[in-house]
Amino acid sequence: MLRKNTTPGKLIIVEGIDGSGKSTQIDLLYKWLQAQGRSVYFSEWNSSQLVKSTTKRAKKNKTFTPTTFSLLQATDFADRWENRILPLLKAGVIVLADRYTFTAFGRDVARGVDRVWVRNLYSFAMQPDIALFFRVPLDVAVKRITSARASLKYYEAGMDLKLSESRIESFHLFQERILNEYDQMVDEFGLTVIDGTLTVQAQQRLMREIVRKELEGWEGLPIPDAPPKTLLKYGIYDEKGGANV
């Protein structure tokens, strides 16, 4: 259980295994909301500067353990949560997140981390107003990922789990575990399932309908002519460039 969002802002997040189409959909939603003159902020998993060099080093040296990987990503999330996401929600902004706590609940548990422990680790976070789970069969996701990219990275493929010598095979087995965790989280956290095998346009239509309903009768923070001084002072600006708060 995550605590309720008691801020005037709206938190919308996307989840799903690699290649499920999350980034494609959240990017389209971001542009749609912006075009409506909404104050919207985008935040991406594992994007904080705070732990970047450590993460890079540990990935390079392959020195992460499931626990240290989990803790470092939780630190990354906490940094974004406390410095960006929460203050902006308090200001009445729509915050979009590409991956949220459920990524940790899925991936870390797939790596062998305790389910309850990792949920407690993120207990400072809030339940999103909309949590979309893009569900695709494994083979569809694997095909999309491998056709879009030359190679799979070590941790991305779950090679640290020693499930298989082959990266593709390991990726498959790792993502399968994650998918099982996501399926269990649908009821636990009330995730809204979107069929990720639909066309980009069809999924976007469904997504916009869900968001439109959530925003009905909600004012939020209008985009001011200039970013409020307090937000600039704390270095809060849009990660995608442009001061949209």
Ligand X SMILES: Nc1ncnc2c1ncn2[C@@H]1O[C@H](COP(=O)(O)OP(=O)(O)O)[C@@H](O)[C@H]1O
Q: Which residues bind ligand X (CB under 6 A)?
A: 16, 18-24, 144, 148, 199-200, 203
Between the two ends of the chain, the Cα-to-Cα distance in Å is 30
> Residue 16 binds which one of Mg ion, ligand X, none, with CB within 5 to 8 A depending on kind?
ligand X
- CA-to-CA separations, 50 to 71, 72, 173, 212, in angstroms, rounded: 13, 10, 31, 35
Give the residue with the Cβ less far from Mg ion, 5 or 23. 23
Give the residue with the Cβ less far from ligand X, 122 or 182. 182
- Separation of alpha carbons 150 and 240, rounded Å: 26
Which string of b and e fits 172-194 if b means at least 16 CB within 10 Å? Answer: bbbbebbbebbeebeeebebeeb
> Residue 20 binds which one of ligand X, Mg ion, none, with CB within 5 to 8 A depending on kind?
ligand X
Taking the complex as a whole, the smallest distance from the CB of residue 231 to ligand X amounts, in Å, to 28
Q: Look at residues 47, 10, 69 and name the one whose alpha carbon lies nearest to residue 216.
A: 10
Give the residue with the Cβ less far from Mg ion, 106 or 220. 106
CB atoms under 10 Å from CB of 223, counted, come to 17
> Residue 204 binds which one of Mg ion, ligand X, none, with CB within 5 to 8 A depending on kind?
none
Q: Look at residues 14, 1, 211, 207 and name the one whose alpha carbon lies nearest to residue 96.
A: 14
- 166: tokens are 């082959």
Residues that bind Mg ion (CB under 5 A): 23
- 5: tokens are 């969002």
Taking the complex as a whole, the smallest distance from the CB of residue 106 to ligand X amounts, in Å, to 13
Give the residue with the Cβ less far from Mg ion, 99 or 111. 99
> Residue 39 binds which one of ligand X, Mg ion, none, with CB within 5 to 8 A depending on kind?
none
Taking the complex as a whole, the smallest distance from the CB of residue 80 to Mg ion amounts, in Å, to 16
Taking the complex as a whole, the smallest distance from the CB of residue 193 to ligand X amounts, in Å, to 14
Taking the complex as a whole, the smallest distance from the CB of residue 138 to ligand X amounts, in Å, to 13
Instruction: Calculate helix-pair angle for 101-110, 66-80, nearest 10 degrees.
Output: 180
> Residue 55 binds which one of Mg ion, ligand X, none, with CB within 5 to 8 A depending on kind?
none
Taking the complex as a whole, the smallest distance from the CB of residue 29 to ligand X amounts, in Å, to 12
- CA-to-CA separations, 187 to 88, 131, 142, 216, in angstroms, rounded: 28, 12, 25, 25
> Residue 1 binds which one of Mg ion, ligand X, none, with CB within 5 to 8 A depending on kind?
none
Give the residue with the Cβ less far from ligand X, 87 or 158. 158
